[in-house]
Amino acid sequence: MKEFELIKHFFAEQNVKRKDVVMGIGDDCAVVASSENQHIVVTTDTLVEGVHFPKDTEARAIGHKSVAVNLSDLAAMGAQPSWISLAITLPSVDEAWIAEFCAGVFELCEFFNVELIGGDTTQGPLSITITAQGLVPENQYLSRAGAKAGDWLYVTGELGEAALALQHILGKVTVEEHFVGPLIEKLNYPKPRVLAGEIIRDYASAAIDLSDGLISDLGHICQASNVGANIVLDALPLSEKLTNSLLEEDAINLAIAGGDDYELLFTVSEANKVGVETALSNAGVRLTCIGQLNATQTITTTLNNKAVPINSAGFEHFS
């Protein structure tokens, strides 16, 4: 199957057909209609085999995760996802593999009403690059800047499970058999916090999604906002799978530095605490206050009300 046959057969056919897509797949460019009083938010992420997912990861999971990590970035900005473009490099045309990959892509696209509007295919080592665009009301987007000393630090969901799954796959830790399936699911099929992102837009002063690890991603907020932070380690939302599988120190290290959580980390002023807690609770989203910002421009951690050193750093591509 040649390139254009592949595109027509696997990628051009999809169930999502948005009214704001004037021209989709099949030409030199896609054409979308801009919305009045909306800003377009754009993000791009690349996933490389052996770096972002193990080589034996199932194709459907790769497709899902490729979309999910981009929608997670949009969620951190408070945006509603709308369109994606996909550039995929394939070692060869394995039609069964591509069909499963597309199933993973389109399942998530359909759930969030996102249309694939273009991209590229080429031959080489397996990698997937997606550019995702979303819409946010004019001047209401979230960013990493805007946080202030005294703001409270919140995180959605639980931390560390995806990192624990990867440690298990790599043979570095052993977890109980009944935990393996759910942990692998958490690693391979992250759920972008799109609804939470749209809700916190009305309350948060800054936000970021947790892809490289809590310490690393918090550092981006602190740098952009010129603030420091203290993380209360005993407040971290750790799951039973994590605490049952690891010693406390190891569990905490994975939670703050493991990465691949794709939860939202955001800051909220004292005046907005009750509002954001009520709004997310009503939406069924778990959130936890894990610390507070300060004016030191450094990140510290405490455990049982005592200062403890930070022994972990987040993921770095070029370390």
* Assigned fold of 3-137: 60s Ribosomal Protein L30; Chain: A; (3.30.1330)
Contacts of 48 (CB under 8 A, 6+ apart): 125, 126, 127
Q: What are 96-105's pLDDT values in tens digits?
A: 999 999 999 9
Quote the pLDDT of residue 60: 96
CB atoms closer than 10 angstroms to residue 167: 20
Query: Residues 304, 310, 312, 317: what is their CA dihedral angle, to the nearest 10 degrees?
Result: 130
Q: Where are the alpha helices (DSSP H) in the chain?
A: 3-6, 59-76, 95-112, 161-169, 177-188, 194-200, 214-225, 240-245, 248-257, 273-282
pTM of the predicted model, to two decimals?
A: 0.91
* Interior angle at CA 246, CA 244 and CA 251, nearest 5: 105
- Output the six-digit token pair for 280: 């997310």
124 has binding-site annotation: no
250 has binding-site annotation: no
The radius of gyration of the chain's CA atoms, rounded to the nearest angstrom, is 20
144 has binding-site annotation: yes
211 has binding-site annotation: yes
234 has binding-site annotation: no
18 has binding-site annotation: no
52 has binding-site annotation: yes
Quote the pLDDT of residue 5: 65
β-pair type (80-90, 115-123) = parallel
* Assigned fold of 152-308: Phosphoribosyl-aminoimidazole Synthetase; Chain A, domain 2 (3.90.650)
Strand partners, 155: 265, 288
120 has binding-site annotation: yes
3-state secondary structure 249-318: HHHHHHHHHCCCCCCEEEEECHHHHHHHHHHHHHCCCCEEEEEEEECCCCEEEEECCEEECCCCCCCCCC
Domain borders along the chain are 3-137, 152-308
Same fold, 3-137 and 152-308: no
Locate tokens 């050193």: which residue? 309
Rounded Cα distance between 288 and 112, Å, is 25
44 has binding-site annotation: yes
CB atoms closer than 10 angstroms to residue 232: 17
45 has binding-site annotation: yes
43 has binding-site annotation: yes
212 has binding-site annotation: yes
Q: What are 179-237's pLDDT values in tens digits?
A: 999 999 999 999 999 999 999 999 999 999 999 999 999 999 999 999 999 999 999 99
Q: Which residues of the chain have pLDDT under 70?
A: 1-12, 311-319
Q: Which of 145, 65, 142, 55 is nearest to 108 (CA)?
A: 65
Strand partners, 291: 153, 231
